[in-house]
Structure 1
Amino acid sequence: MRFLSVATALIGAITGAEAYWKGFNVGANNPDGSCKTQADWETAFTVMQSQPGYFTSFRLFASSDCDTLARAVPAAISTGSQLLVGVWATDDGHFGAEKAALEAAINQYGTDWMIAISVGSEDLYRGDISGDYMAQKIYDVRGMVRAMGVDKEVGHVDTWTAWVDAANEVVITACDFVGMDGYPYFQGATIEQAPEVFWQSVTDTRNAVNRVKPGTWVWVTETGHPVSGDNFGPSVASVSNAQSYWNRVACECFNSVHVFWYAYQDYNSNPSFGVIDANLNSIYDLSC
């Protein structure tokens, strides 16, 4: 596959502290609500590769919704991109469809395009399912892919507040990696306070994880600052504040942790965290 040669060159070019995934969250829907086609996925990937940071890593939220993997995986292979796969886990019917879509993608395309697998997204924060139920879904997916000969890490993504809750320690035990979502904006932090608030949430999550399962990596799977929309207390949504948060948080993250910024596009949302506008131009400077 083309990805193999691209990935080999990439890994050969980065070592030590530089060897971290740096990417973006990309939804399966376009801002108008339509499902992304394979061409739309290719556009998203190539637009981010054209940015100063040359971003080639992307997080997906689901596998079957909008035929996500059936469309995104060939787009990733054709553009030399890598994907953190999402498997929705909230209800059994949906979960079954998600597993089937992941199995089909692996059977058709192998796994050179895959970074890891995240089972669920903020389910614990929303209170949709219990920690025990979430852990069983993680074991279920890991068992399926291991039986297929796939050794990619399998984990879960949730808010940092969920990870520091002792009731969810069973999920930490089940994870190969822990994906942490943290938004100082939603904590009511000013832009001056935001970096300290963010890194404190990372530290608190790492401490909680290490108490339960030492050595487990914490990935930053969502963070960012809105470019427009309503303020959240003293947190102000603006392009200038989003730029400041990028300069002071993203650029440090890229050298110290696996990170997937939120988000590629969401310009019809309020607040809007997207970094790319309707004309496929960056809203603020994505260099470091």
Structure 2
Amino acid sequence: MLYLLVAFVISLLLVTCNRGFSLLLGLGINVVAIIALLILIADGFNVLITTAIISVIILVVAIYMNVENSTTANISFKTSLIITAVILLITIPILYWSSTQGMGVEDQEELEGFSLAAGVSFPQLAIATIVVNSLGVISETSVAITSGLNEIVINKPTLTSKEVFSDGFSVGNKILSTQTNTLLFNFFATTFPLFFLMSTLNYKFGDIINDKLFGAEVLTTVICTIGVILTVPITAYQVSKIDRKKLLASSEEESQDKKDK
């Protein structure tokens, strides 16, 4: 594990040079934020409120420490906040309706020696898991679309708001294909052990669909995918309404900073 960590750090610094230190710092802050979230929830703090606060911190670090253009960062941050709130509103009723929170029957043997009086709301914990799981892919998608659209606006400042909005869908469609594939592959990679267990135990199709662990993974993947899809129109709309003069000024400042460095 230590060798892999060292290899990761060296590879990152070789590829990104000085910027790698900023990326490592941001990654370290977010790791500390996630650990703090777990500790606070374990200590009895409200799960949803704590998750909301930590999510904002994670988004601030992930976006503002990695995006040099202030306009791009601001739009991406606003979009990520909106999508996170939408995901929260979608997740709460679906999760309570599906009853996929908590442990499944496959976990019974591991839990036999432990007390079940954890003192934590498992539905709220499941909501927190989905929200935190979606932060990375949402912020990444928003930054990619905003950066692409801003470049289009800078190179073609005469475009109308309607044309910019239309170009946003064009850029977003290209990014959506890769992001949805990423979520799909992550889903299968996560559930491979579960699939093997179900195959060994001769689960029927109905048993698989109604399995709590399988259902939780499906819901997480689908909700995150919905968040990624909604990122496209919201980001495109915000960029189409942006002040072109501020965007051009921000781009010129960024270019000047690069020259100075």
What interval of TM-score do these two structures reach, taking the shorter chain for normalisation? under 0.3
- More helix by proportion, 1 or 2? 2
Give the structure-1-normalised TM-score: 0.25
Q: Which has the larger radius of gyration?
A: 2
Relative CO higher for 1 or 2, CA cutoff 8 Å, sep ≥ 6? 2
- More strand by proportion, 1 or 2? 1
Give the structure-2-normalised TM-score: 0.26
